[in-house]
Amino acid sequence: MSSGKCGSGLVRDKARAPRLEFCRLSGPEVESPARVANGRPKRKSPTLGCKHSAADRSPLIQALKVLLIKALLRFCSWLPLPLNQAFGTLIGTVVSYLPTESRHVTRTNLRLCFPELSESEIATLAKDSLVETAKTGCEFGYIWHAPLAKVLGSIVCISGHEILSEALAAKKGVIVLAPHLGSWETCGPYLTNCGPTTYLYKPPKLSRFEEDMVEFRSRGGARLAPTNRKGVAMLVKALEQGEIVGILPDQEPNPEGGVYAPFFGVNALTMTLIARLAARTGAAVITVFAKRLPAGAGFEIVFGAARAGIDSPDLLTAATALNQSVEDCVRQAPAQYQWEYRRFKHRPDNSKNTLYR
C-alpha cells in the first residue's frame, strides 16, 4: 500500500489471506449452518459430506497432486506481480481457445446473465474472464508465499474504507461479503490488519492439502472456521465480540441452507446463513473485493454497503438483497468475476440443471 496505512491505522506486518468457501454438506448426520445459526442444532455431530472422486481419495494420486500444486504455487511466488499475472494471461488465453468445460460453463453463465450481449461480445467477455481467473490462480502463490509486507504493498488504492470503519465502530460485529471477484485472496491481508478476523472456509477436495492451505491462509493468526456446527459457532462468537467475519456469498449452499432468489435475473440457490447471522447478532453487512489494476500495477480494495433487507426475517427478501449486493460488485468489473462456477446448477425443484451439459 502506498500510504502504508489501513484506513486511519498503521498496517501491521502480520496479515493473512484466507479463502472463504462453502462445502456442500450432506448425509443424515450433517447439520445445516442455517439451522445452527438460528439456534436449532440437531443432536448428532456434523460431518463434512463433500463428494470426492476415487482418484482424489487415492493416497498416491493425492500426494502427487499436492506436490504439483505446491511446486506451482512456489514458482508463482518467485515471479514479480507483473510477470505473475502475465503467466496467468498465457494460461487463460490458451484455455479460452480450447473446448474446455470451463469455457463452456463461462459462456453459458454469461448468456444467462447478459442476454442483451451478442455472441461475439459473449465470446470476448468469456475469454477475458478465463484470463482473469487464471491470473487469480497464479496470484495464490504470490499472496501465500511472498512476504506479507510485499503483499500489502501491492494494494495501491483503497475505496470506501469508511464503510468498514463505521461498521466496526458500532461494535456489533461486521459480516464482510467477499465474492469471487478480482484477486479475492488479496482481501484477507487487508481485512486482517483492520481487526480480529474469522473466515469460513471449505476444506479442499485434496485432503492432504488442507493443512498447507490453512497454514498459508492463517499467516499472522487468522481464525479459520470450517463449514460445520463448530465453524458456525465460531462465527457467532466472533460477531458477538464485535469482530470481522468473512464469507464468500456466491456459492450454492446445501438445499436446507438456502432459498432460490434472482441473481442477474436468473433464479439461483442462495445461502440464508448470512441473514440468520445478521439477525441474530445485529452485525452490519458490507461487501469487499480487490480489483486488479492494469499492467500489473497492483490492486484496489473496494468496500461497499450491502443492499437494504439483507438481514430481513423474510429469507427470500434477504437472499434477493444478498444477490443484489454481489451484483453491485460484479458490475464494477464483470470480466474479473469467476463465471467459471456453475452458479445455476440446481433448479427450484432441486433437480440438476441441464444448462451445463
Percent of the chain with pLDDT over 70: 84
CATH of the domain at 254: 3.40.1130
For 67-76, 113-122, 231-240, 336-345, which range has the lowest pLDDT when averaged over its residues? 67-76
Per-residue pLDDT tens over the stretch 319-343: 999 999 999 999 999 999 999 999 9
Name the maximum alpha-carbon separation found in the chain.
54
Please tell me the predicted confidence (pLDDT) of residue 77: 92
Q: What is the pLDDT of residue 6?
A: 42
What is the pLDDT at residue 354? 84
Give the pLDDT of residue 150. 92
Domain assignment of residue 290, yes or no: yes
Least confident of 6-15, 74-83, 182-191: 6-15
- DSSP letter string, 277-310: HHHHH--EEEEEEEEEPGGG--EEEEEEEPPTTT
pLDDT at 45: 39
pLDDT band at 220 (very low <50, low <70, confident <90, very high): low
Q: How many domains does the chain have?
A: 1
**Do 197 and 164 meet the contact criterion of CB atoms below 8 Å apart?**
no
Q: Give the mean pLDDT of 209-231.
A: 82
Domain that holds residue 256: 5-50+154-336
CA angle (323 as vertex; 129, 121 as ends), nearest 5: 30
pLDDT at position 227 is 83
**Which one-letter DSSP state was computed for residue 296?**
G
Whether 44 is covered by a domain: the verdict is yes
Give first-to-last CA distance, the chain, whole Å: 44
Residue 51's pLDDT is what?
45
Task: Please check whether residue 275 is in contact with residue 319, taking contact to mean a CB–CB distance below 8 angstroms.
Answer: yes
Q: 103 lies in a domain?
A: no
Q: Grid cell 449452499 — which residue?
A: 253
**Looking at the domain assignment, is residue 310 inside a domain?**
yes
| pTM exceeds 0.85 | no
Is 66 within 8 Å of 204 (Cβ atoms)?
A: no
pLDDT digits (tens, 9 = 90+) for 252-304: 898 889 999 999 999 999 999 999 999 999 999 999 999 999 999 999 999 99
Ranges 108-112, 278-282, 296-300, 347-351: which has the least confidence? 347-351
d(CA 357, CA 311): 36
Query: Is 136 contained in some domain?
Result: no
On the question of pLDDT at 182 being above 70, the answer is yes
Has residue 113 been placed in a domain? no
Q: Which of 53-62, 98-107, 174-183, 227-236 has the lowest mean pLDDT?
A: 53-62
Contact 12, 149 (CB under 8 A): no
In a domain, 120, yes or no: no
In angstroms, the CA 105 to CA 129 distance is 11
- The reported pLDDT for the residue numbered 17 is 36
Note whether residue 92 is domain-resident. Answer: no
